[in-house]
Amino acid sequence: MTMLDRMRRHKNLLKWSLALVVVSFILLYIPAFVGDGTGPGLSSDVVAEVEGHEVTAGDFQRAYQGQLQAYRSAYGSNISEQLLKQLGIEQQILQQMVDERAALAEAQRLDIRVTDAEVRERILTMPAFLMNGQFMGEERYRQLLSMQRPPLSPGQFEESLRRSMTVDKLRAALTDWVTIPDGELEQEYRRRNEKVKLQLLAFRTDDFRAKVTVSDAEVSAYYDRHRDKYRVGEQRKVRYLLVDVDALKGGVNVSQRELERYYNDNVEQYSTPEQVRASHILLKTDGKDEATVRILSEKLAQEARGGADFAALARKYSEDEGSKEKGGDLDYFPRGRMVTEFDDQAFSMEPGTIGDPVKTQYGFHIIKVVDKKAATTRSLEEVKAPITEQIAYQRAGQEAARLAETLEDQINEPADLDTAARANGVTVQETGFFGRDEPILGLGAGPDVSQRAFELKEGEVTGHLQVPRGFVFLALSGKKDPYLPKLDEVKDRVREDLTRDKAGELARQRASEAKTASKGDLAAAAKLSGIELKTTDLVARDSALPEVGISATVDRAAFSLPVGAVSDPIGTDTATVIIKVLERTDPTTAEFEKAKDQLRSDLLDERRTRFFNAYMVKAKQRMDIQINREVLGRLIGV
């Protein structure tokens, strides 16, 4: 029995409605049904476990597919899942789920719970489920969940909501003590909102490089003064056996039946619903006499039908701040994007027509339909190539995970790498020397792999480790202790560093000479130096400045000088600059009072989040957290 089944027994206030509304569920991830229920994506295998709180294969696959769908919605349906995996998206998702389970475990330890009544109350008040201020009813609630892409069951949604609310409750219990005094709040507001307008004269370091000469003796002396800068940390190299997903993918044959099944299961990815392009004029009713607003809306509709410029009317009368300056244009939208009454009228009208005013929860809308696009679905033939690639990659990933698990039993010492490689038709390879924080050539970025490489002892071999290309087994084949390289090994680097330093010093000298010669007149200094004087708009701290970019050093000078003052030469990473403050604006007390509540909320959220994250880092250190890489590999194919 779901939460709303219980609500139906105990609540008599629900009015059932089938009206459509916009649904934007704000969740960490949206569970989805994937496949037919027989594949690995919906199994009960455990991907991770935190103090008894499990992340099952089904949990992970639903979250992963939901995130994949979100990326495709944002960047197009043809975005490569392989690319996302190479970027480590699955690791981010798993980490989020592990963090959530850890927070749930900590909430359980502290006896923090979310009751059925609290979940019920949240559902009843979520804007996504309201129509005219009332809950839309169980039938429509279920329909909206099932309409999500991927679809969602009431039980899944309510459990996800309960988890989210539990984490919020834990966070509140741990961080509600954090406060911000008004004085500190005002100081931060002024720091963020005070602005200056500057003249800026930049002597770019690169412009002076050609004027610099560097002798071998100077390079040697510079090296002696900065030896620690060139010290090299421990380096290692490894022999490795790679189970390469791309190599396995070449041997995968995808049948027509598999293509059709994948296409039918995911057809919404290749479908574009019917869309309308419309403009509107919104007259709000909040705090107004509704009859008066209705009369005005009818008058404007009549004017528009009579030939008045609709866009001009919208810019003059519309109270929709998001569209009025665009003449009321809402661009193209599908059903469900707007509230029900708006949708019903817009999709029933023909292009070029203007409807009667329609009443919604926001007020009265005068709608002009500009264009319509029929619903379309790309055929299987059109999307056959990316689907084939996707299925082949998934199957190759599953085969790679299976093979890696098999090899795990065969590889117990470094010599076993060669035996296993010969038996399975792969090659053992060797890296060059790499540092602890450097990517391993041939394997790509993988901090876990680098860390394991630096933990290995002579004669040891790792179990299978996940890398962007598949799975890998490592054995130590050489190491270099930390050392100071001889000058000849780093001479080019030392020469470059010295050249940059000397060019920077020359830029500082020229800047100082120009300021002195011009007696602080930046226009004269610019003319004298042959450098263009730049003038900024009013800018806040952390703004990018001409020739300089973002510079905390320049900011400190700019916001400490009075109007009309000229700075001393200021060194940055790329230039030496002199600035003059032309103008300064400070926020008023009235502006601060208006923004105070929102700023307090933002700052409190930032500080409470930092504290909560730090707390959870320590809490997780005492938790038993297990990750099943084999199951994860089967699910995501790497």
How confident is the model over 94-132, as pLDDT tens digits? Answer: 889 999 999 999 999 999 999 999 999 999 988 888 877
Numbers of helices and strands, H then E, in the chain: 22, 20
* Cβ atoms 587, 157 nearer than 8 A: no
Which amino acid, residue 89?
A: I
With CA atoms as reference, report the closest residue to 636 among 28, 122, 34: 34
What mean pLDDT is predicted for residues 273-293?
Answer: 92
b/e per residue 437-469 (b: at least 16 CB within 10 A): eeebeebeebeebbebbbebeeeebbbbbbbbb
Which amino acid, residue 233?
A: G
- Predicted pLDDT of residue 19: 24
- Domains delineated in the chain: 3-176+621-636 (1.10.4030.10), 195-210+490-585 (3.10.50), 235-261+381-480 (3.10.50), 274-374 (3.10.50.40)
Give the largest CA-CA distance in the chain.
91
Tens digit of pLDDT for each residue in 527-548? 999 999 999 999 999 999 998 9
Cβ neighbours, 10 Å, residue 131: 19
- This prediction's pTM: 0.59
Pairing of strands 275-284, 363-373: antiparallel
> Coil, strand, or helix at residue 56?
strand
Tens digit of pLDDT for each residue in 565-618? 999 999 999 999 999 999 999 999 999 999 999 999 999 999 999 999 999 999
Q: To which residue do tokens 């294969």 refer?
A: 57
Q: How far apart are the first and last CA of the chain?
A: 38
Cβ neighbours of residue 120 closer than 8 Å, sequence gap 6 or more = 3, 4, 6, 7
Residue 586 CA to residue 584 CA, distance in Å, equals 7
Question: Over pLDDT 70: what percentage of the chain?
Answer: 88
Q: To which residue do tokens 């009454």 refer?
A: 341
**CA separation (Å) from 384 to 244, 266, 271, 374, 441?**
24, 13, 14, 23, 34
What mean pLDDT is predicted for residues 374-387?
Answer: 90
Question: Over pLDDT 90: what percentage of the chain?
Answer: 58
Token digits of residue 157: 């949604």
User: Does 76 score more than 70 pLDDT?
Assistant: no
User: Does 201 score more than 90 pLDDT?
Assistant: yes
Binning the chain into helix, strand and coil, the percentages to the nearest 5 are 50, 20, 30
* Cβ atoms 237, 630 nearer than 8 A: no
**CA separation (Å) from 296 to 282, 317, 362?**
11, 10, 15
- CA 288 from centroid of its chain's CA atoms: 41
Residue 604 CA to residue 599 CA, distance in Å, equals 8
- Average pLDDT of the chain is 85
User: Does 257 score more than 90 pLDDT?
Assistant: yes
Between 70-74, 156-160, 615-619, 626-630, the lowest mean confidence (pLDDT) is in 70-74
- Predicted pLDDT of residue 12: 32
